[in-house]
Structure formats: C-alpha cells, structure tokens
Amino acid sequence: MFTPKYPTPDTAPAPATPQITVQAPVVPVAPAPVAPVASAPVPARPTIQLTPGSTLALAAGGGAVVLVVGAVLVSMLLAVAITAVSVALVAIVLRLLINDLHKGR
C-alpha cells in the first residue's frame, strides 16, 4: 500500500538532445563618421513650471503629510506612555500584595 509506483521504462520520456550550432566569428567594423546635426540642444531633464496655484497645492499637500505623520507619531507615543503607566501601576500593586503576604506569616 505504501510502496512507490514507478513507471515502466518504456513510457518514460526520452531526454532531449541539445543541438550544437557553429557560428562564424564576428569581425568588428569601424563606424562611419557622422556629421554633426545643427539643432537646438535638448535639456537633460524637462523643466517644471510652477504656477501660483500649483505652488499652493504643493504646500498644502506637504502640510497635510506633516500633520498626518505627526498625528501618527504622537498617537504611538501616547500608546507607549499609557502602557508604561499601566505596567508601573501593576508592579506597585503586585509589590504591595507580596509585602502583605510576607507580613501575614
């Protein structure tokens, strides 16, 4: 029942044989001289035109990002502070309970 079942040798696919092709060596050819083309120089990067409206939108978007990131960081700090206070209170209560237990002997 748990023995592996192998296919019979005549049904196994035959391995593919690689074909070998011989290529002629590549001889480098010197490029033909190119005449310079008289045209306007193309800038490396496109220039961005900022209008007063787009500047205002960019400033508002940046301010919104700063406010959101600040709110997230403040909430995380508040969560850590609340957790630290609660752990400190639990430690004080446990210390008082253990001291009462030792005094009761």
Q: What is the pLDDT of residue 85?
A: 97
Q: What is the pLDDT of residue 41?
A: 66
Count of positions (residues) in the chain = 105
Higher pLDDT, 24 or 100: 100
2 within domain boundaries: no
Mean pLDDT on 55-76: 95
pLDDT tens digits, one per residue of 71-102: 999 999 999 999 999 999 999 999 999 999 98
Q: What is the pLDDT of residue 24?
A: 72
89 within domain boundaries: yes
| Domain tally, the chain | 1
> Angle at CA 10, nearest 5°, toward 8 and 16?
120
Residue 49, token pair as written in the block: 């035109």
Residue-range definition of the domain harbouring residue 85: 71-105
